[in-house]
Structure 1
Amino acid sequence: MAQPEVNTNQPASNEDSHGKMKLKCWGGGYGLPSLDPDCLSVITYAGIVNAPLNLVPALPNNSVTGSLPELQIGDFIYQRAFTIIGVFRREGYNADQLLTEVQKADTLAFLSYIDQKLKPAVLYNLWVDARNFNAVTQPATGKACGFPLSLWYPAKIRKTISSYIWFCKGAKEYTSMKDIERMIYKDGYDSLNILNSKLSNSDFFFGDYPTTLDAVLFGHLVVLKNSPLVSTELQNHLNSCENLIHFCDRMAKFCPSTAPPQKKQVTSNLFSKEQVVSLMVCAGAMIFYAFTSGVLTEERSKLAAKLRTSQFNESDPMD
């Protein structure tokens, strides 16, 4: 039997799309089907568009690409969250089909903002922060890996994520990871404030129905919200953002749950990664999403310009 083909360009056949698509992802806990932000983003998006998804808890070494999440449709394999969401769109599962061109451009701007500001803060809090890593992340990840991988694998993941954050935040300007901790958390606090303000009292970011932006943001917020952390500064700040907390409650119906959240004890797998995608690969995934959205034009949204130049005013309208 032929091995599945790794493919990020060609669409799967329509016949394959009628059956269940298989998504390999990190296992879940604390009321979530997975404890990895990228896996959760994909799972939630599938829930929004009612895609027939078969979840398969796995480790990266059980996947074809060596990374998670990984989607299989027939003989085709797709990796990385934004690429997988783009595949869903090509298969007819499009959560953004009612958005205007301006809203599509704003979606790209916010997705980039989450990737650059919020994601590093969440990863740092869970993986690099020594208290959280030693008390929560390391033992939970070790339990997911099993012996003997548990002896070294969590430390390997931590090193990989530390390197990603180091280069993402401008390594040349600092001498140690501790030097950039303050900036990472400031970015995390600021991003939560901006997202909380922009959501305001709306159910979702672009009206009455959730879109790609809602799925990706939920994937990052709910991991931080539900995990039984020891070092809780960023988690506490999220809990103070009432709009985002209510948003998580609304979005939960699109994400299948496991057991109820359990506080201050490690009973299931905390998310982990085999590989953290380089900045160039992340940019490529964003471009893939933009291509499937039809927003690769010369016209840029005002929101994108503000985010890029750090001239963002929380009171500005979204459009």
Structure 2
Amino acid sequence: MTYARFTGAPLKVHKVTNPWQSPSGTLPALRTGHGEVISVPHKIITHLRKEKYNADYDLSARQGADTLAFMSLLEEKLLPVLIHTFWVDTKNYVEVTRKWYAEAMPFPLNFFLPGRMQRQFMERLQLLCGEHGPENEEELEKELYQEARECLTLLSQRLGSQKFFFGDAPASLDAYVFGYLALLLQAKLPSGKLQAHLRGLHNLCAYCTHILSLYFPWDGAEGPPPRQTPVGPETEEEPYRRRNQVLSVLAGLAAMVGYALLSGIVSIQRTTPARAPGTRSLSMAEEDEEE
């Protein structure tokens, strides 16, 4: 989103909280003018560049190399701690992350999707730190946070007093850095060791605030622009919306029935009714009378 705003790419944004409403079943997703659906963020940026929306058009070869180096540094040093902060740290996950998704997602997705996402992020963290064993988890955490603080300090020194990393115009590195830092800066975390270090780097804080006010002005106290009634091709989403509503209701009913059966609230028993003495003869007599 930040990269698209930097380049002025004419996107029509549809904010959804249900992955089923995405044309690819995952978020984010971009549907191109030719009907192609792209879901991987770096492939979305590649597509925008092919469409002549290139934030790095004016960069020199040296600046392009610096961009790749800093992106690699962020992914290696900062990303693992961000995953740990939001998805592994128990207090942050329970009080912030899971709460966010549970309140935003429709029933019954809010019951199982946050947990599934947590498992996926924990698997990704294990891949990023694959050489470390589980026996030194505390030592690993201490090392990760130390490297992340050094990474933030290096970013602060590289930015200096500039508006953006390469001068007065934003580039892809700015979108990348902002994507990592904005959430960490804005979230109200009960356990915010790295957040406290970031807030002590005043130029990075001012940098994030500047991008928010300039490129996301309605995401603050002001409301978003009034939503227009969709016309033309936009109406194609209506059948999918109805389908998703029906699927959500059916899934909700199935979840409630399953919970009732598993918890013992409802039970199904098959019994053979006992026959009192003389029942058979009485039944035969009634049949004879009816005949």
Q: Same fold (TM over 0.5)?
A: yes
Q: Please say if residues 107 and 213 of structure 1, whose CA atoms lie closer than 8 Å, have aligned partners that are also in contact.
A: yes
Partner in structure 2 of residue 141 of structure 1: 101
What is the deviation of 1:180? 2.5
Partner in structure 2 of residue 53 of structure 1: 11
Q: C-alpha deviations, 1:233-285, integer Å up to 9, x for none?
A: 11111100111111112212123542439xxxxxxxxxxxxxxxxxxxxxxxx
What is the deviation of 1:102? 1.2
Ranges of 4+ aligned residues in structure 1 off by more than 3 Å: 171-179
Alignment of 1:1-319 (within 5 A): 43-58=1-16, 59-74=18-33, 75-175=35-135, 177-252=137-212, 253-260=214-221
What is the deviation of 1:167? 1.4
Secondary structure at the counterpart of residue 64 of structure 1: coil
Runs of at least 5 residues in structure 1 that lack an aligned partner in the other structure: 1-42, 262-319
Q: Please say if residues 185 and 234 of structure 1, whose CA atoms lie closer than 8 Å, have aligned partners that are also in contact.
A: yes
Supply the distance in 2 between the matched residues of 1:61 and 1:166 (Cα, whole angstroms).
28
Q: Please say if residues 132 and 140 of structure 2, whose CA atoms lie closer than 8 Å, have aligned partners that are also in contact.
A: no
Instruction: Tell me whether 216-225 or 174-183 shows the greater mean CA deviation.
Output: 174-183
What is the deviation of 1:176? 6.6
Runs of at least 5 residues in structure 2 that lack an aligned partner in the other structure: 223-291
Secondary structure at the counterpart of residue 54 of structure 1: coil
The residue identity in structure 2 corresponding to 1:90 is K
Q: Please say if residues 117 and 188 of structure 1, whose CA atoms lie closer than 8 Å, have aligned partners that are also in contact.
A: yes
Supply the distance in 1 between the matched residues of 2:91 and 2:37 (Cα, whole angstroms).
37
The residue identity in structure 1 corresponding to 2:20 is N
RMSD value over aligned CA atoms?
Answer: 1.8
Secondary structure at the counterpart of residue 110 of structure 2: helix
Q: Please say if residues 48 and 210 of structure 1, whose CA atoms lie closer than 8 Å, have aligned partners that are also in contact.
A: yes
Secondary structure at the counterpart of residue 165 of structure 2: coil
The residue identity in structure 1 corresponding to 2:6 is I
What is the deviation of 1:178? 4.6
Q: C-alpha deviations, 1:12-68, integer Å up to 9, x for none?
A: xxxxxxxxxxxxxxxxxxxxxxxxxxxxxxx11111111111221223333233332
Supply the distance in 2 between the matched residues of 1:151 and 1:177 (Cα, whole angstroms).
29
TM-score (norm 2): 0.71
What is the deviation of 1:226? 0.8
How many residues of Structure 1 are paired with residues of Structure 2 in the alignment? Answer: 219
Q: C-alpha deviations, 1:113-162, integer Å up to 9, x for none?
A: 11221122112111111001111111111112222222222111111101
The residue identity in structure 1 corresponding to 2:91 is R
TM-score (norm 1): 0.65
* Identical-pair percentage: 33
Kindly indicate whether structure 1 or structure 2 has the higher relative contact order, using CA contacts under 8 Å at least 6 residues apart: 1
Q: Please say if residues 71 and 77 of structure 1, whose CA atoms lie closer than 8 Å, have aligned partners that are also in contact.
A: yes
Instruction: Tell me whether 174-183 or 60-69 shows the greater mean CA deviation.
Output: 174-183
What is the deviation of 1:170? 2.0
Q: Please say if residues 152 and 198 of structure 2, whose CA atoms lie closer than 8 Å, have aligned partners that are also in contact.
A: yes
The residue identity in structure 2 corresponding to 1:163 is E
Secondary structure at the counterpart of residue 57 of structure 2: coil
Partner in structure 1 of residue 243 of structure 2: none
Q: Please say if residues 81 and 145 of structure 2, whose CA atoms lie closer than 8 Å, have aligned partners that are also in contact.
A: yes
Q: Please say if residues 166 and 177 of structure 1, whose CA atoms lie closer than 8 Å, have aligned partners that are also in contact.
A: no
Question: By percentage of residues, which structure has more strand?
Answer: 1
Supply the distance in 2 between the matched residues of 1:235 and 1:181 (Cα, whole angstroms).
15
Secondary structure at the counterpart of residue 66 of structure 2: helix
Q: Please say if residues 70 and 78 of structure 1, whose CA atoms lie closer than 8 Å, have aligned partners that are also in contact.
A: yes
Secondary structure at the counterpart of residue 69 of structure 1: coil
Answer with 1 or 2: which has the greater Rg.
2
